[in-house]
Structures are given as C-alpha cells and as structure tokens.
Amino acid sequence: MSTKTKPKLVIAISSTALFDMAESHNVYEQKGVAAYAEYQRQHEDDILSPGEAFPLARKLLRINDKLEGDPRVEIILLSRNSADTGLRVFNSIAHHELSITRAAFSGGSSPYRYVSAFECDLFLSTNAEDVRSALDNGVAGATLLSSRAGPSKDDDLRFAFDGDAVLFSDASERIYKERGLKAFTENEKASARTPMDAGPFKSFLQALQGLQAEFSPEECPIRTALVTARSAPSHERVVRTLRDWNVRIDESLFLGGLSKGDFLNSFGADVFFDDQQAHCKSASEFVATGHVPHGIANE
C-alpha cells in the first residue's frame, strides 16, 4: 500500500528578494539589457550577498531538518533573468548551501504566472507589479521592503499578520475608510457572530498551521501572531472568524491604533505582512516587512 504524501509548504521567492542585486540592477537601469547580461556573465562567480528574504528562506529550509521523511518545505526561485544571466544566482544558492532546486527564469517578463503552476502558498518579491498579479490570481503575495532589522538569532520562525485586507477581507475596512470609526464599530458589533470573508493570506495561514501540526506544541519551531489595530469590541468578530475557520493563531495583539513596531519587535517577528504602506514603513524599522497591495488602502 502506498503512503499518501503529506502536503508541502511551498514559497516562491524572487531572486531580487533572496539576494542583494542592487549593483547589477543599476547596470541594467543605466546601460540596458545587453550590458546587464554581460555584467552578470563577468561576475557569475562572484557570490551575491543575502537579500531581505534570505534569513527567512534559510529558517524555512531548516525546518526540513527537524522532520523525518520527504521535505515539507520547498522554496521556488522566480526570476526575470534568463537562465544564462541567472547562473550567478544559482552559484550563490550553492555557495550559501540553500536547498533550492526548482526555478523559473522568465527572460525579462513577469514570472508571477508560474506561482500557480508550482502550487505556491506564498510569493515574496521586491516587484510590486508581480506581487499584485499573484494576488489577482489567488496567491498570497507581498512586496518586501528594505528593513533596518537584522535576522533573529534563533531558528524559530515567527510570522505576524495584520487582520483586515490580509487575513480577512477588506469589507470592514471599507466601512471604516468610507464612513468612519463609529460606523465600523457598530457594524462589527452587529456582525460579531458572522464570520468575515477570507483575505489573501488565509490559505497561507492554513498551510502554516498544517506544518505546525507536525510538531508537538512544546517543540514547534513556528509561531504566528495577529497584530491588528482593532480593539474591543471589534475583537469578538476576529475570534469567532478564526474559530469558524478552525485556524489557530498563537498570539493576538489588539492594539487599538497603537504603532505596531515595538510590539512586533517584542514578538520577535521574522516577517510581518500588512496592507497599509504607512504601517509597513514603521514596522520595517524593527522587522522584515511585506506590503500586501490588496484592498481599499491600495486602490
């Protein structure tokens, strides 16, 4: 009898998020495609420095060392390079001993269309247009911002999420933006027992929970947090929605409009996802931050 393969957590990361490619990108911007291609060939044995997503990628791949059997976490490299100009990227992957074997080099066009083909749960990139395209096609995605925060020193992985327009739909946030806080609060009280619709990151959170289930609570290397501007009484709908989804969040912070940065730092987040640019900018001073270009705040 064959054993059913357990589902993987599959994350696509662009080459510009995995490595610092600012220097070669400047060549492309200033001198064009041909000069860029020649530059990459000349420097293909020069190892690229880690980019914004590198610490997260390394931690994710280390989870496979903690589980028996087939790898449960896979990272897919997506790049606008051609295979020829992308050789430097694979050389850097080998140097840093990252277990990344699958890639799509799209030769100048957007690689987002391969996100679904690889059955990815999440797409991380520095290209906001590619991320929007992934979100439009039903895949969780975020644009990684430059961060002042260094990588955390332990192997535990900590994911933090905003609520509305990230884990949940932006329907409630639309009421707040269009009609104000009072109307928002009244709506959430009246709808407290009506679960919210899913946002773009619900499926990724569920995939994370599936991976968490492989460990005992005491030994699980993954921890999640909801970090939201909501406060009482609008918290109740959040709790009941997660209960309806049968999804567990390890920690929930209802901040009532307080700045999120200090709290994310206290949580020790490896990455935080939020739909609002202002929140992302302040958070990026403390943790790696992914902007989710979804919902009314991004229209």
Q: Is the pLDDT of residue 1 over 70?
A: no
For residue range 202-228, what is the model confidence (pLDDT) as tens digits?
999 999 999 999 999 889 999 999 999
Q: Residue range 8-35: average pLDDT? A: 90
Q: Can you read off the two tokens belonging to residue 169?
A: 């739909």
Give the residue with greater pLDDT, 273 vs 156. 273
Catalytic residue among 20, 121, 154, 162: 162
| Whole-number pLDDT of residue 34 | 86
Which CATH code of 1.10.645.10, 3.30.300.30, 2.40.100.10, 3.40.50.1000 fits the domain covering 9-144? 3.40.50.1000
Report domain extents, the chain: 9-144, 157-298
| Whole-number pLDDT of residue 151 | 62
Q: Among this protein's residues, is 164 annotated catalytic?
A: no
| Whole-number pLDDT of residue 243 | 96
Q: Which of 78-87, 109-118, 178-187 has the highest mean pLDDT?
A: 178-187
Q: Is the pLDDT of residue 149 over 80?
A: no
For residue range 85-107, what is the model confidence (pLDDT) as tens digits?
889 999 999 999 999 999 999 88
| Whole-number pLDDT of residue 150 | 65
List, in order, residues 6 or more apart from 107 with CB less than 8 Å away.
80, 81, 82
| Whole-number pLDDT of residue 126 | 93
Q: Is the pLDDT of residue 4 over 60?
A: no
| Whole-number pLDDT of residue 3 | 44
Q: Is the pLDDT of residue 152 over 80?
A: no
Q: What is the mean pLDDT of the chain?
A: 92
9-144 and 157-298, same CATH topology: yes
For residue range 56-66, what is the model confidence (pLDDT) as tens digits?
999 999 999 99
pTM of the model: 0.93
| Whole-number pLDDT of residue 69 | 82
For residue range 239-252, what is the model confidence (pLDDT) as tens digits?
999 999 999 999 99
Of the candidates 41, 25, 64, 51, the residue with the CA atom closest to the CA atom of residue 214: 64
Record: fold of 157-298: Rossmann fold (3.40.50)
Q: Residue range 115-137: average pLDDT? A: 93
Q: Residue range 229-234: average pLDDT? A: 93
